[in-house]
Amino acid sequence: MTYRLLVVNYGGPSPGRETEYLKNLFSDPVVFPLPSPVRRVFANLMALWRRGESARILEELGGKSPLLEQTLEQARALGRLLGPEWKVSAAMLYSRPLLSEVLREVKDQRVVVLPLFPQYSAATWGSVRRVLSESPAEGTAGLARPFYDCELFLLGWEEALGETLKGLKEPFLLFSAHSLPLYLIRRYSDPYPRQVEETARRLAKRLDLPFAVGYQSKLGPVKWLEPSTENLIKELAKRGVKELVVVPISFTAENSETLWEVDLNYRKLAREAGIDEFRRVPVPHLSPRWLECWRALALEAAK
């Protein structure tokens, strides 16, 4: 039997398509549980408001985010690992190739869906479930499970951290995850913050290093998960931390949150706050450990 594996990531704006991505994002009824007509107006307004900033961030990143390219690389690597019985493709929640469109193309195949989000959230896994429920492939689609506690996933981060920590004497680990509005956490009893903290605790324990968990990328006036990564950097500097290592614990590919928000903005903030050494662990998107973890999850979901 031949299987079709879809590896799914969040997506992001691309040059000339900023508005399309933003409309798709802000139209998601799981993330923005508003009446349909209100949600459409909201999505249009938010796209108009955010498209200029999205274009500016892309320009500062050299014209594009590496998220899609790295997800395609992960799909190709998983295809080689799984062998000829599997055909592996990439899909995105909010930008092309859209998961909803790819699912229409594979409706007659045995489909397994692997979201590349380590921790479960309604905003990610829940949105994938929604798209699956609306697709013609729903009846034959197996959905993999989150991998925040997968031993091989943790080992992949540990190996990447080992490289970044070289030469440091008293490093402090700051695990930074994408934030979520508190209304989502409450509405869905979302396990996301608990799972983020569990991943961080396990990694810090392996390395026997002090750590903190922060949340980044909040948007708008509503309340979000705290503490923010930005405020933690300031606080840690006041506490005398001089060597800070940021681990983007909720990401499996590089994107604007890692390259622009952390590498540019947070690095500048840390320097101004008095931190001497600021390092960010590169996302090991092709870690052999990660690929083995995902292979096992795909095989499990296929059953």
Distance, in Å, from the CA atom of 21 to the CA atom of 13, rounded to the nearest integer, reads: 5
Three-class SS of residue 263? helix
Is residue 299 classed as helix, strand or coil in its secondary structure? helix
Spatial CA neighbour of 148 closest among 114, 179, 120, 190: 120
Residues composing the chain: 303
The CA-based dihedral angle spanning residues 107, 113, 115, 116, taken in that order and rounded to the nearest 10 degrees: -120
What's 3-147+287-302's CATH class?
Answer: alpha beta
**Crossing angle (nearest 10°) for helices 288-302 and 151-164:** 170
- CATH code of domain 151-280: 3.40.50.1400
Residues facing residue 38 across a β-bridge: none
Cβ of 29: how many Cβ atoms within 10 Å? 12
pLDDT tens column, 87-118: 999 999 999 999 999 999 887 789 999 999 99
Enumerate the H helices of the chain as residue ranges.
Answer: 18-26, 36-60, 67-82, 99-105, 127-133, 151-164, 182-188, 192-207, 229-238, 256, 267-273, 288-302
> Between helices 151-164 and 192-207, what is the axis angle to 10°?
60
Do 78 and 4 form a contact (C-beta atoms < 8 A)? no
Domain layout of the chain by residue ranges: 3-147+287-302, 151-280
Q: Is the entire prediction scored with pTM above 0.85?
A: yes
pLDDT the model gives residue 139:
65
- pLDDT at residue 128, rounded to an integer: 96
Q: What is the pLDDT of residue 154?
A: 98
| 3-147+287-302 and 151-280 share one fold | yes
Cβ-based neighbour number of residue 227 at 10 Å? 12
Which residues of the chain fall below pLDDT 70?
A: 137-139
d(CA 244, CA 277): 6
Distance CA 214, CA 106 (A): 39
